[in-house]
Amino acid sequence: MSTPNQQTAIITGVGRAGQVGAAVASAFAERGWRVVMLDRTGRNVTARAEELRSAGHDAIPVACDLTDAAALARVADELAPQLPTGAGALINVAGGFAPSGPVGDSDPTVLQQQVALNLTTAYLATRAFLPLVRVGRGGIVYFASIAALPERATPNLLAYAVAKGGVLTLMRTVAVEEAGHGVRANAVAPNTIRTADNVAEAGADARYVELSTVTDTVVWLATQRGVTGQVVRLG
């Protein structure tokens, strides 16, 4: 059940169990936050909310196409009366990964898809929920990747790296533009994370960033008042 002073975190990309979005939502819920969880697949996000509710947490599932600006605007309008103190955090987890191959042999549609999944979703969610984050003087956390860092070479991953590089540019822009509103923006840039999908593909003994490392870092970045415009590399 919610309480008058309860903080709210809006989290995108909370879909299937064992993935990053579900872990981030659980991390905030276990710390006493209300979590508003968005995912394109209503069945998945509802299942994650029911799991949290069964453990006594306050969770609101929302099915929404995060590449649809009008749909996100409607969600924000519907949430506003329920969140009179705004949102203390917006966590942009939604994204996807696909190799694009060498540039000379690549399919342009892969670039378009990666930009839509990783950058467009983060941009539109930020745009839609900024009014609530301003009210809550909250923190926004973006998910980039080590593939987007300047010291990394990214053969065969141009589309993904470009999309995540755009996420970093978005984060830095928001950090500057929203400082006067008390809003902070930061990003994590992880290596491969130990998710259910990654373990199924690469095995349990591969080198991973642990989910607990990711969630602890995200919560810290979202709640530290003096930290903005930073990228934290993980792994």
pLDDT tens digits along 129-146:
999 999 999 999 999 999
Rg of the chain on CA atoms, in Å: 17
CA distance 139 to 9: 9
Judge residue 204's burial from the number of C-beta atoms within 10 Å of its C-beta, 0-12 exposed, 13-18 middle, 19 or more buried: exposed
Is the distance from CB of 224 to CB of 180 less than 8 angstroms? no
Q: Flag whether pLDDT at 2 surpasses 70.
A: no
pLDDT tens digits along 185-216:
999 999 999 999 999 999 999 999 999 999 99
Beta strands at 184-190 and 139-143: parallel, antiparallel or unpaired: parallel
Classified by CATH at the fold level, domain 8-234 comes out as: Rossmann fold (3.40.50)
At residue 3, the pLDDT reads: 63
Helices 158-177/121-136 angle, 10° precision: 20
Is the distance from CB of 146 to CB of 192 less than 8 angstroms? no
Query: Where in the chain are the domains?
Result: 8-234
CA distance 100 to 113: 10
160 in active site: yes
At residue 152, the pLDDT reads: 84
CA torsion sign for 51, 55, 61, 66 is negative
Structural tokens at position 12: 């995108």
pLDDT tens digits along 3-57:
657 999 999 999 999 999 999 999 999 999 999 999 999 999 999 999 999 999 9
pLDDT tens digits along 84-121:
999 999 999 999 999 999 999 999 999 999 999 999 99
CA distance 143 to 234: 11
Q: Given 123, 142, 160, 208, which residue is catalytic?
A: 160
